[in-house]
Amino acid sequence: MKNSVSSRLTERTAAEVARTIYEPPMQGFDAPALERMCALNEAHAVMLAGCGLIPADCARDLLRGVATIRAEGPGAIDLDPQFEDSYFAFENRLGQIAGRGVAGWLHVGRSRNDIGATLDRMAVRETCLALLAEMEATRRACLEAAGRHVLTVMPGYTHLQPAQPITFGYYLANVAQGMEREHERLAAVLDRADACPLGSAALAGTSFPIDRDETAALLGFARPAVPGLDAVASRDFVTELLWAVTSAQVLFSRVAQDLYTFTTWEFGALSFPDRVAGTSSIMPQKKNMLPLEYFRAEAGRSIGALAGALSAVKGSNYSIGLDSVREGLADAWPAFARFRAALPLLRLILETATPDAEKLLQRCKANFSTATDLADGLVRDFGISFRDAHHVVGRAVQRVLATGGGAEDLTVEVLNAAAEDEIGRRFDLPEERLRRWMDPVEAVRARTVPGGTAPEVVTAMLARMEARLSADASAREARTAALAEAASRLAGRVAALRD
């Protein structure tokens, strides 16, 4: 039986080939994919007519056929894998409507290669804009939560050991800063993907005098993608987006791990409403923070997708091939969809996280997290080097711990005994001043340098991040509006030729 696509092949595609290679991607030809295909074909037909490469009546019939297919929806297209991909299935349906002779004119000056590359860039463009919008909403939720907890003092940790007092608002401000960078990475992908491969044909361009600038503009691209081989053979905009998504997932996983630890019975420092938790089928007391576990798992899945994609592409030739432009990237698209779906869940987590402020403050008072402030005070008031002060305070902490005491047991007498051991001197230090140096609230307030924990510094940081968020949202909205304007121009050109 004749091959469904080419007369060069004398046999029908083997069922095993069709089922394994062609069928899976064709099953994903949904309404958004159909709309991208229709817009691409309309832009190409309008350009061909404008360049005098097809007659006006041919352009009219092609555009009417595309309009019919759009109205019918993807269900009307025969997605038989014998057609190899959705483009040929679309062309088959167009031929049924407009006639095969007419439909064949639409392929002047292009190839399946540049069609596929253009569709992928259109899909990444839509994905980027959707992810940017979700990221902006999530950044806003994080900033709002940070603002609510600027005064909620808690231990800051290094190596998961108490380090210095911070606030929960300060912690979340740092998370928001990380999100801002992840947003930048996503936006950078959008900029680099904003070039139109259509007209590159198979790899070397075309001998027809087409207007690639016109096609790019009608589809809302900033420019044509050149040169042609790179335009059709490279999908690094997909792997770059997958890297950006994976980077964000890693950030979210680390934050989730912190919050997960804080919610354990042993820490007992953070709680969530019951609606943000799961339970056990056998242990009636259980409240499991499944959403936080989800983010740890998602980072792993995204890393796997990225590693798989890069591993597939790295072995391909620098030309068109399934491993470099389709099969190797198959896991990227589900990763994008999962990331988009996860962002509202992260917002819920940020909106409902409730720290135990009293418990956290008491822990700061008991766990020696103000030891650095004590050393700083000795440097300022008694003129010793920080290294000497570090040794003195470290010896004082060791003395208290050796007797089973806590931070409240570090007195002036204990400090002076340690100072005599370490540097051979004592300090004329009032107990009240020692207690002030060891007050976590005072420690937080004292850090007024840029990036510090003082409430006024954190508030200023949040204001700057709010301004950046507003600017980012405005830039995204402008890009979205520009695409809508391009679509409107295309619709007008189509109507003028079709009607």
Active site amino acids: 159, 280
* Contact (CB, 8 A) for 331 and 306: no
Angle of helix 31-50 relative to helix 56-72, nearest 10 degrees, comes to 170
- Whose CA is closest to 196, among 25, 32, 40? 40
Please give the Cα distance from 300 to 335 (Å, whole number): 11
* Contact (CB, 8 A) for 78 and 89: yes
- Whose CA is closest to 335, among 361, 299, 376, 371? 299
Q: How many residues does the chain have?
A: 499
Residues 6+ apart with CB under 8 A from 292: 256, 257, 259, 260, 263, 349
